[in-house]
Amino acid sequence: MSERDMLEEIRRSIIMGHLDAEDEGFDGSMEGTPGTVELVEEALEARTEPQQILTVFNAAMEEVGRLFEAGEYLLPDMLASAECVGEAMDVLEPHLAGTADTQKGTFLIATVKGDLHDIGKNIVITMLKGAGYQVRDLGIDVPADDIVAAVKQHKPQYLGLSALLTTTMTEMETVIRKLKEAGITDVKVIIGGAPTSEEFAQKIGADGHCRDALEAVEKLEALRSAS
Amino acid sequence: MIEITGRPPELLSAREKDLIHAASCEVLETIGVKVRDPKVIETFTKTGAAMAENGRLYLRTSVVEQALASAPETIRFDAPAPEHAFTLDASAEVARFGSGGQALYLLDRSAGSWERRAAGQEDLVRLLRLCERLPYLDFVTRPVECDVPKERMDEEKARAFAANTTKPMNLANLVDPSKLQRVIEIVGSESYLSFIVCLVSSPLTVDDSAVERLRAVTERGIPVSISSCAQGGTTAPLSEAGELVQLNAEVLFGIAFVQTLNPGAPVLYRGIPLTADLFGDCSPRWCRPDSIRRLTLATELCRHYRLPCCGTAGVSDEREPNAQAIAEKALSLTYVALAGAQYINSAFGMLERVMTVAPAQYLIDNVIIETLAETLKKRHDLTARQAAQQVARAALARFGVDLGPEAESELEAQVAFIEDGREEYSRGALDRELETIGSAVETDGGSRVFMKSSRKGLRAGLLYTGERIQGELDLTCIQDDLESL
Ligand code: B1M
CATH number of the domain enclosing B289 = 3.20.20.480
DSSP per position, A204-223 = HT-SEEESSHHHHHHHHHHH
Contacts of A212 in chain B (CB under 8 A): 281
The predicted-structure confidence for B173-184, as pLDDT tens digits, reads as follows: 999 999 999 999
The helix, strand and coil proportions of chain A, stated in percent and rounded to the nearest 5, come to 55, 10, 35
pLDDT band (50, 70, 90) for residue A116: confident
What's the pTM value of the predicted model, to 2 decimals? Answer: 0.91
Distances (CA, A) of A176 to A151, A162, B77, B368: 11, 13, 46, 49
Nearest CA in chain B to A195: B104
A158-162 and A188-192 strand pairing: parallel
DSSP per position, B208-252 = HHHHHHHHHHHHTT--EEEEE--EETTTB-SSHHHHHHHHHHHHH
Q: Flag whether pLDDT at A102 surpasses 60.
A: no
- What is the spatial distance between Cα B194 and Cα B171, in angstroms, rounded to a whole number? 6
Q: Flag whether pLDDT at B35 surpasses 90.
A: yes
State if residue A124 touches ligand 1 by the CB under 6 angstroms criterion: yes
* Among B375, B349, B374, B363, residue whose Cα is nearest residue B399: B363
The whole-number average pLDDT for the span A4-23 is: 94
> Which range has the worst mean pLDDT, A20-29, A42-51, B262-271, B423-432?
A20-29
The whole-number average pLDDT for the span A20-33 is: 87
Q: Which residue's alpha carbon is nearest to atom 17 within ligand 1?
A: A120
Position B445 scores a pLDDT of 66
pLDDT band (50, 70, 90) for residue A21: very high
State if residue B157 touches ligand 1 by the CB under 6 angstroms criterion: no
B104/A contact by beta carbon, under 8 A: yes
State if residue A116 touches ligand 1 by the CB under 6 angstroms criterion: yes
Q: Flag whether pLDDT at A93 surpasses 90.
A: no
- What is the spatial distance between Cα B224 and Cα A88, in angstroms, rounded to a whole number? 48
Position A94 scores a pLDDT of 87
State if residue A123 touches ligand 1 by the CB under 6 angstroms criterion: yes
Q: Flag whether pLDDT at A199 surpasses 80.
A: yes
Dihedral sign for Cα atoms in the order B22, B245, B467, B404: positive
Is A79 in Cβ contact with B452 (below 8 Å)?
yes
Position B202 scores a pLDDT of 94
How far does the CA of residue B414 sit from the closest CA of chain A (Å)?
A: 22
Structural domain includes residue B87: yes
Which amino acid, residue A191? I
- φ, ψ at B452 (rounded to 5°): -65, -45
Q: Which residues of A touch B (CB under 8 A)?
A: 17, 19, 23-28, 74-77, 79-80, 83, 114, 116, 118-123, 125-126, 137, 139, 141, 166-167, 194-195, 212
Of A24, A122, A166, the CB nearest to B445: A122
Domains of chain A: residue spans and CATH: 3-96 (1.10.1240.10), 106-226 (3.40.50.280)
Of B145, B201, B281, the CB nearest to A116: B201
Q: Which of A27, A119, A135, A170 to mutate to test the interface with B (most CBs of B within 10 A)?
A: A119
Cα–chain center distance at B306 = 17
* Among B86, B450, B127, residue whose Cα is nearest residue B282: B450
* Among B223, B338, B243, B232, residue whose Cα is nearest residue B288: B232
Position B284 scores a pLDDT of 94
Contacts of B104 in chain A (CB under 8 A): 166, 194-195
Q: Which residue's alpha carbon is nearest to atom 85 within ligand 1?
A: B355
Position B376 scores a pLDDT of 97
CA of A208 from ligand 1 middle (Å) equals: 20
Structural domain includes residue B373: yes
Average pLDDT, chain B: 95
Structural domain includes residue B248: yes
CB burial of B70-89 (b: ≥16 within 10 Å; e: otherwise) equals bbbeebebbbbeeebbbebe
Instruction: Report DSSP state, residue A20.
Output: S
Contact present, B467 and B477 (Cβ < 8 Å): no
- What is the spatial distance between Cα B156 and Cα A138, in angstroms, rounded to a whole number? 35
Domain that holds residue B174: 2-15+69-422
CA of B329 from ligand 1 middle (Å) equals: 23
* Among B132, B141, B98, B173, residue whose Cα is nearest residue B336: B98
CA of A117 from ligand 1 middle (Å) equals: 5
How far does the CA of residue A6 sit from the closest CA of chain B (Å)?
A: 25
Most confident of A18-32, A59-73, B386-400: B386-400
Of A80, A114, A121, the CB nearest to B452: A80
The predicted-structure confidence for B439-475, as pLDDT tens digits, reads as follows: 999 977 688 899 999 999 999 999 999 999 999 999 9
B76/A contact by beta carbon, under 8 A: no
Structural domain includes residue B52: no
Torsion of Cα atoms, B445 then B446 then B452 then B457, to 10°: -140
CA of A165 from ligand 1 middle (Å) equals: 7
Cα–chain center distance at B313 = 7
Position A99 scores a pLDDT of 59
State if residue B308 touches ligand 1 by the CB under 6 angstroms criterion: no
* Among B179, B181, B214, residue whose Cα is nearest residue B196: B214
The residues, ordered by sequence, that sit 6+ positions from A73 with a Cβ below 8 Å of its Cβ are A64, A67
The predicted-structure confidence for B192-247, as pLDDT tens digits, reads as follows: 999 999 999 999 999 999 999 999 999 999 999 999 999 999 999 999 999 999 99
- What is the spatial distance between Cα B298 and Cα B17, in angstroms, rounded to a whole number? 10
The predicted-structure confidence for A148-167, as pLDDT tens digits, reads as follows: 999 999 999 999 999 999 88
Structural domain includes residue B479: no
Structural domain includes residue B287: yes
Structural domain includes residue B59: no
The whole-number average pLDDT for the span B112-122 is: 92
Query: How many domains would you assign to chain B?
Result: 1
The residues, ordered by sequence, that sit 6+ positions from B60 with a Cβ below 8 Å of its Cβ are B29, B47, B48, B49
State if residue B251 touches ligand 1 by the CB under 6 angstroms criterion: no
Structural domain includes residue B61: no
Contacts of B458 in chain A (CB under 8 A): 74, 76
Average pLDDT, chain A: 92
- What is the spatial distance between Cα B260 and Cα B40, in angstroms, rounded to a whole number? 10
Position A34 scores a pLDDT of 94
The whole-number average pLDDT for the span B307-320 is: 97
Q: Which of B212, B282, B285, B433 to mutate to test the interface with A (most CBs of A within 10 A)?
A: B282
pLDDT band (50, 70, 90) for residue B476: very high
Nearest CA in chain A to B105: A195
Nearest CA in chain A to B210: A114
pLDDT band (50, 70, 90) for residue B31: very high
